[in-house]
């Protein structure tokens, strides 16, 4: 396996482990930008045609097949990139937890972006079916934070 491919694989693993939305790998004249999107983006044909990879005898990189999950409720999505917090402070109880009733407009979390804490209101009333986002993790625009049913 080439050193460059090993570096790409290592960077992909780090992006997954730390839930990064963007990373850059530079090697001599080559610069590769990796971006994670909440929805798949189809490659431009000219870019796809320009890319070519050498065949190797090694096992191909395997990913888990995408299996659409049955919707559990209405998603509350992140309106911005930042760090998600489920409570006002580290010693405070979470704004909401699974099984809690919420009303439209009720604050369910915070996202810190550029040292500013932004309140995340629930767009719907209902019961919190699932807390998807973990406190202290990086979230991107469109990432599901909660499911309300």
**Full set of structural domains in the chain with CATH:** 3-50 (no CATH), 74-148 (2.40.50.100)
Residue 118 to residue 40: CA distance in whole angstroms:
27
Report the candidate in 122, 140, 36, 127 with the shortest Cα–Cα distance to residue 84.
Answer: 140
Contact 124, 146 (CB under 8 A): no
Number of helices followed by number of strands (H, E) in the chain: 2, 10
**pLDDT under 50: residue ranges of the chain:** none
* Neighbouring-strand partners of residue 30: 27
How do residues 100-126 score in pLDDT, each as one tens digit?
A: 999 999 999 999 998 899 999 999 999
Q: In this predicted structure, what is the pLDDT of residue 75? A: 94
Q: Which residues of 111-131 are buried (b: 16+ CB within 10 A; e: fewer)?
A: beeeeeeeebebeeebebbeb
Q: In this predicted structure, what is the pLDDT of residue 41? A: 54
Question: What Å distances lie between residue 21 and 101, 117, 130, 139, CA to CA?
Answer: 31, 20, 23, 8
Q: In this predicted structure, what is the pLDDT of residue 14? A: 79
Q: In this predicted structure, what is the pLDDT of residue 145? A: 95
Question: What Å distances lie between residue 15 and 21, 23, 41, 128, 145, CA to CA?
Answer: 7, 7, 18, 29, 19
Q: In this predicted structure, what is the pLDDT of residue 24? A: 78
Q: In this predicted structure, what is the pLDDT of residue 39? A: 54
């Amino acid at each position: 396996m080439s050193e460059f491919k090993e570096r790409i694989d290592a960077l992909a693993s780090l992006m997954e482990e730390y839930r990064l939305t963007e990373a850059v790998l530079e090697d001599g004249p080559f610069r590769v930008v990796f971006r994670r999107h909440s929805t798949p983006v189809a490659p431009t044909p000219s870019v796809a045609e320009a890319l070519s990879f050498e065949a190797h005898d090694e096992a191909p990189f395997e990913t888990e097949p995408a299996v659409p999950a049955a919707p559990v409720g209405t998603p509350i999505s992140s309106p911005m990139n930042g760090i998600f917090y489920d409570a006002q402070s580290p010693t405070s109880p979470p704004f909401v937890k699974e099984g809690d009733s919420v009303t439209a407009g009720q604050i369910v979390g915070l996202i810190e972006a550029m040292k500013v804490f932004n309140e995340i209101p629930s767009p719907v009333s209902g019961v919190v079916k699932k807390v998807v986002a973990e406190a202290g993790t990086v979230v991107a625009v469109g990432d599901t934070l909660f499911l309300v049913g």
